Amino acid sequence: MSKITRYVSLGIVAVATGALVFVLPAPKSDSSIPSYQPRDAYENDFSANDAAAWLNKRRVNPATGKVDPAEVLRVRNLVEQHRLAKTSSAIGLQWELRGPDNIGGRTRTLFIDPANPQLMFAGAVSGGLYRSTTGGSSWEMVNINAPNNAVTYFTKSANGDYYYCTGEGLHYFTFGGGAGGILGGGIYKSTDGGNTFNVLPQTQPTPNNRSAEWANISFVLADPITPDLIYAATNAGLRRSTDGGQTWSNPVAGSAVSPSEIGAPIADMIVTSSGGVWFKGNNHIMYSANGAPGSFTQISSATSGLPANARRSRIAVHPTDPNYVYVANVGTSGQLGTVHRSMDGGQSWSLIGTGTTSFNPFNTQGDYDLLLAVDPKNKDRILLGGVTLWSWAPTDGWNQIASLGPDNPINPFYVHADQHDCIFHPTNPNIIYVVNDGGIFRSSNDGFTWTPVNANYITLQLYSVEGNAAGQFL
């Protein structure tokens, strides 16, 4: 079969079939037909900056070019007053879901209940909290009327209570910076198995204040043994509660650490199976064996083998052997810096990966998308993700385990870009889930092939909507 090639240039269309070339006149232009107009320069960036700048442009005062938090709050209050005064039916508005209902949006957390793996929770930064009772084959929204739907992490305490936190600080490549990150509304808690969630009053931030304590919460994590011992990684530093979230304190205060680490924004942390607490402070990787006040030490240093001062770091610990600790560091331009491993609980470290031109899973987005997880069945194997998804083991080295396209049902290797977290199934670790800017993806064969699991997970972030005379949405 001869190869058919099409060329469009300078007003002619040339179709080549084998050795013959037919030159046809190009279609005439009709100025009465609306034509595509390119976006502003920043909107052609096709990165996370694009979404952030787009959102900021629609928030600014057209006269001043600036966002006035007081004005935003005033308008929101007016909208809320209008909502309470009149129902949608009273003013003639009838809303119905138009989808898409099978394409996920940016997701930063997925939780599989170890007591019932069919029960799963997922949180999207602009779509709210969703639950699946079918092992991820379908989803439904919970806590629909929550005033804040920027969900960033979900966890379960030792007594069965559920918690999730809000506020996407990891956006626009700086923690809490830029214009696109959606401010949080606190930590929500459920004591009835995830049916109803209520905000913890002590965690509610001052509205529309990006620098307020609790404005962005990246993680809420529970001690594996003590039921009411909860930790939160916030824009104001690490917080600890011993009464199930009713009151909070800063456990780093009093530790022999740099003062800047005590109130630094905490972007990444983990609580181990033994109750140890790891987190990345302003400059250093920090650790405490039990999270007690004043017990934290700086692990990264010039002599420990684990470098300090990374732009961002992600920490992963093996779920049953806390001696195996991995740290991925982001470089000065947002690219992959280094990956280190400790096999003695952080006493010593070895370098297992360095970012290069050919090995750069983060591109320049490591401050925004960074995934690191240890395989439960093999403590010498990890998964690392940023824009793309990779695995490492001493015997295999580094290997990319998913592609960025094409996005179609016949490509079993496709996983959407911008990875945020990885979760292994609690009873079958050959089943792996990753969450990213395209929602939720699952592998049933240890990461060899992948499939999206976004049925009714309605979290896609839409830039705009437009309809035509036929009632179609574009």
- 60 or 252, greater pLDDT: 252
Instruction: Give SS3 for 32.
Output: coil
Residue 316 has pLDDT above 90, yes or no: yes
Residue 172 has pLDDT above 50, yes or no: no
- What distance in Å separates the CA atoms of residue 189 and residue 360, rounded to the nearest whole number? 38
- What distance in Å separates the CA atoms of residue 185 and residue 200, rounded to the nearest whole number? 10
Give the per-residue pLDDT at 221: 98
What rounded mean pLDDT belongs to the chain? Answer: 86
Give the per-residue pLDDT at 32: 44
Cis peptide before 265 (omega within 30 of 0): no
DSSP 41: G
pTM of the shown model: 0.81
What's the distance, CA 441 to chain centroid? 13
Which residues 6+ apart lie within 8 Å of 399 measured at CB?
Answer: 390, 391, 392
Query: Residues 97, 101, 103, 108: what is their CA dihedral angle, to the nearest 10 degrees?
Result: 80
Span 315-334, mean pLDDT? 96
% of the chain exceeding 70 in pLDDT: 83
Span 282-297, mean pLDDT? 97
pLDDT digits (tens, 9 = 90+) for 365-423: 999 999 999 999 999 999 999 999 999 999 999 999 999 988 887 899 999 999 999 99
Give the per-residue pLDDT at 88: 53
Residue 266 CB: number of other CB atoms within 10 A?
28
pLDDT digits (tens, 9 = 90+) for 185-214: 999 999 999 999 999 999 999 988 888 999
pLDDT band at 2 (very low <50, low <70, confident <90, very high): very low
Span 299-324, mean pLDDT? 95
Instruction: Give SS3 for 129.
Output: strand
What's the distance, CA 234 to chain centroid? 15
Span 131-156, mean pLDDT? 95
- 438 or 29, greater pLDDT: 438
Residue 77 CB: number of other CB atoms within 10 A?
11
- What distance in Å separates the CA atoms of residue 277 and residue 298, rounded to the nearest whole number? 12
Give the per-residue pLDDT at 87: 55
DSSP 198: E
pLDDT digits (tens, 9 = 90+) for 219-240: 999 999 999 999 999 999 999 9
Which residues 6+ apart lie within 8 Å of 172 measured at CB?
Answer: 48, 49, 52, 178, 179, 180, 181, 368
| Residue 242 half-sphere exposure toward CB, CA atoms < 13 A | 7
Residue 33 has pLDDT above 50, yes or no: no
Query: Residues 123, 125, 126, 128: what is their CA dihedral angle, to the nearest 10 degrees?
Result: 20
- What distance in Å separates the CA atoms of residue 190 and residue 26, rounded to the nearest whole number? 63
DSSP 181: P
Span 54-82, mean pLDDT? 73
